[in-house]
A and B are shown apart, each in its own frame.
Chain A
C-alpha cells in the first residue's frame, strides 16, 4: 500500500479523495482498503469509475461530505485517504 502511495505522489495525475478540495470533482480509481470497509464502500456505490464531488467540510475540518451517486455521504480524511482518485478539471 505504501508503495502504491509513493507511486501516486510521483504521478501527479492521481490524488487521494482526502486531498480533493471542496467543490472539486474526481473519478475513483482504486480502493486501498480490504475486508469489511471495502464492502461498505462498494455497497454505498463508491467503486472504481464512480464520479464524486467534495461538498463541504465539518466545522472542525473533518469529516468531509461528498456527493456520491446523488446522495451525500460523509467520510473521515483517514478513510478518504485510502481512496485513490483522478481529479477532474474545475468547471
Chain B
C-alpha cells in the first residue's frame, strides 16, 4: 500500500481542522461516474477548495456547508469501485474511509447500475455505521425503465437512502437532513453486513485478537484482518513498514499506535497463515461473491424494470460515434469545430480587451510621468510587467473562456470515454492504455491538468508513458502561437471567406502531428526505457448525460479558466520585467536581447527558426503564453511589447525579419512538440516523485523537437521553399 503524502495530510487535517472550525467531517465516496462531483458542488457551492490542479475528482477537493448551526466539512474522495482496490486514486479513497474515521460517509450511487454500485455500498457498511446513501441519477434510471424502491432499499441496507437528481438540485435538502441526522446520532442505523460462512467467522474471531495484540487497536481491525487472511500483500507491507500505524490520527495515545517489531509481525503472519490455511485458497473470490450475492438479492428486491418504448437513443448514438466508418471522422470533425468556434469567437473579445487594456497602459504611463517617476521605473512596471500581463489576459482569456466550456460540455456529455474506446487499439499497439486518450483531451486545456488526470490509468508503466507524452498535445497557452501562425501565414494564402476555416484546419493538422508523435514516443518508450506489454485494460462508458449549464459554467470558468489564467498572469508580470530589461539594457551599442539572439541564431536557423524565437522560448519556460509578444518585441527592436496590429501589418513585420512559411511551419511544430512549461514539469515531479522521469520528460520532447524541426526545415529548404 503506497501511502502518499496527501493521505497523511488528510488524517492530520481531520484533527487540526476539526478542532478549529468544523463540527462534523463528511466523506463523499462512490463509483466513478455517479455524479459524485456534482453532489459535492451542489452541497458546498463556492465554499470549496481544490487542493490541486483542475482535473475533476482526481484532484483533492474539500468544502463545507452549514446546516442548523453546525458546520460540516465535506471531502470529495476519488471515485472507487471497491475498498479492495488497487489504483492510486482508489487507495486514497480507501485509506480515508478506513483510517480517518469520518463522522459520516455518504456513498453516491448510480441508480442505473445499482447492483454494481451496491458492491461498494456493502463494503462501506461493513466498516462504518454512519452511512448515508445518495441514490443519484434517478431520472436516468427512469429513462431506462428502472424504478428503485427507495424505502425498501433503506430497510434492506439499514441506513438512510435519499433519492436525488444532483444536477438539478433535486433531493439535496433531504440528503443534508440525513447527513445531519446521522452525524448527530438522531438517526440510528443498523447497517446490513454481507454474509460470510461460519467457518470464516470462527477464523476471524480467532485471529482478530492476535492482530490487535501486535498491531495495536487499529480502526477497522476486522477489515485489516480479513485482508491479511486473504494474503493481501500491500496491507502486509503497510503493517510491516509502519504506514498503516502512521495513517491513524495523531489524537490517539502513543500506546495505541505502537509499531510492532519485526519478530512480532513474523510470528503474527505465520499464525495467520496457519489459521487461514483451510479457507485461504479462494477467500477473496468468496468474499466478493458473497457481497455480490447480497447485492443481487437486494437489487432484485428493490428495482422494478418496466418496458420503455424501444427507442434507446444512447445505443443509437454509440453505434454512430464508434462505427467503423464514422468513428474517426466524427472525432476529427469535433476537434475542428471546437477549434473553429474558439478562433472565430475569440477574435472580437480579444481585440476589445486588448484595446481597453492597452489604453489603460497609456493612462498608467501618464500617471507615472505626472508624478515625475524615473523612466526606468515606468518602463519596468508599465511597459514591462503591466503590458505583459495585459497581453496575456487579452490573448488568453477569450479563447479559454470559449474552449473550456466547450470541452466541459463534451466531458459532461460522456463523449470522452468514447474517444478512448475508439483509439484504444492504437494505444495498445504502442504498449499504452486507451485512457491515455482522455488524459490527452485534458491536455488541450492544460498539460498540468492532463498529467494529473493520468492517475486514472491503473498500470504504473502505462501511466508513466501517458505522463511523459502529454506534452505533445498543445495546451491552451500554446494556442495563441498556433492561431497566429495559422492565420497570418497559412490562412492569408486563401480567400478571406474561408480563412478562419483554413486556420482551424491548420490547427487540426498540427495537432495531429502532436498526436502522431505521442504514438511514436509511447511506442519507443515501450520498447526501451519502459519496456513492457500493455496490461489489463478496462474502460467504463457511462450513459450520455445532458450537460447542466450551471455545472459547465462552474467547472469551466471557476475551476479551469480562472485557475489557468491566474497561473499565466503571475508568471507574465515578472517575465514582462525580464523582457523589458533585455530589450533596454545595452552592452556596447546593442541591447542584451540582440546579443542573446545573435548567440542563439545559428542553432535557431538550423531548425528553421531564428535567435529571437529561441530566446522567446527560453524566457517563456514558465508560461508559453508570452512567446508571441516576446518575438514581436524582438523583431520590432523597440523596447516594449506591442499590441497586435492587423494581419497584414504582422505579416509585413515578420517577413521583414526573413520569416517565411518554413519559419511558420517550424514554429508551429516547435510549439507543439517542445518541452513542457515549468508548471507542468513541477506537476510531473509531484506525480512521479522521480528526478529521472522529470528530467526525461523535458529531454525527450526537446530531442524530438530538434529532430523534427531540423528535418522539416532542411527538407523544405532543399525543395526550394523559404
Q: Specify which chain B residues have a CB less than 8 angstroms from the CB of A58 in the assembled complex.
A: 322, 327, 421-422, 424-425
Name the interface residues of A67-82: CB closer than 8 Å to any CB of B: 68-76, 78-79
Q: Please state if B323 and A59 are interface contacts (CB–CB under 8 Å).
A: yes
Q: Please state if A73 and B538 are interface contacts (CB–CB under 8 Å).
A: yes
Q: From A33, which residue of chain B is reached at the shortest CB distance?
A: B536
Q: Please state if A63 and B537 are interface contacts (CB–CB under 8 Å).
A: yes
CA distance A56 to B314 in the complex (A): 12
Q: Specify which chain B residues have a CB less than 8 angstroms from the CB of A42 in the assembled complex.
A: 284-285, 288
Q: Please state if A40 and B86 are interface contacts (CB–CB under 8 Å).
A: yes
Interface size class of B (residues with CB under 8 A): 35 or more
CA distance A48 to B208 in the complex (A): 30
Name the interface residues of A34-86: CB closer than 8 Å to any CB of B: 36-45, 47-48, 50, 55-63, 65, 68-76, 78-79
Q: Specify which chain A residues have a CB less than 8 angstroms from the CB of B422 in the assembled complex.
A: 58-60
Q: Please state if B541 and A74 are interface contacts (CB–CB under 8 Å).
A: yes
Query: Given contacts A39-B86, A70-B114, are A59 and B458 in contact (CB under 8 A)?
Result: no
Count A/B pairs, Cβ under 8 Å. 114
CA distance A73 to B424 in the complex (A): 13
Pick from B288, B426, B543: contact of A60, CB under 8 Å: B426
Name the interface residues of B405-431: CB closer than 8 Å to any CB of A: 421-422, 424-426, 428
Q: Specify which chain A residues have a CB less than 8 angstroms from the CB of B285 in the assembled complex.
A: 38, 42, 47
CA distance A78 to B533 in the complex (A): 12
Pick from A50, A55, A74: contact of B538, CB under 8 Å: A74
Q: From B287, which residue of chain A is reached at the shortest CB distance?
A: A42
B697 at the interface (CB under 8 A from A): no
CA distance A40 to B82 in the complex (A): 9
Query: Given contacts A45-B119, A76-B428, are A39 and B84 in contact (CB under 8 A)?
Result: yes
Q: Specify which chain B residues have a CB less than 8 angstroms from the CB of A62 in the assembled complex.
A: 424-425, 428
A-B pairs with beta carbons under 8 Å apart, 19 shown: A33-B536, A36-B86, A40-B538, A43-B85, A44-B538, A45-B292, A47-B292, A50-B292, A55-B315, A58-B425, A59-B322, A59-B323, A59-B325, A59-B328, A59-B422, A68-B116, A70-B116, A71-B116, A72-B541
User: Hey, which bits of chain A sit against chain B, CB under 8 A?
Assistant: 33, 36-45, 47-48, 50, 55-63, 65, 68-76, 78-79
In the complex, besides A44-B116, A71-B540, 13 extra interface pairs with C-beta distance below 8 angstroms are: A42-B285, A44-B538, A50-B292, A56-B322, A58-B327, A62-B424, A69-B115, A70-B113, A70-B114, A71-B116, A72-B540, A74-B434, A75-B537
User: Hey, which bits of chain B sit against chain A, CB under 8 A?
Assistant: 81-82, 84-86, 110, 112-116, 119, 284-285, 288-289, 292, 315, 318-319, 322-325, 327-328, 421-422, 424-426, 428, 434, 458, 535-543
Shortest Cβ-Cβ A-B pairs, 9 listed: A59-B327, A60-B425, A70-B113, A43-B82, A71-B113, A74-B539, A42-B288, A37-B536, A72-B541
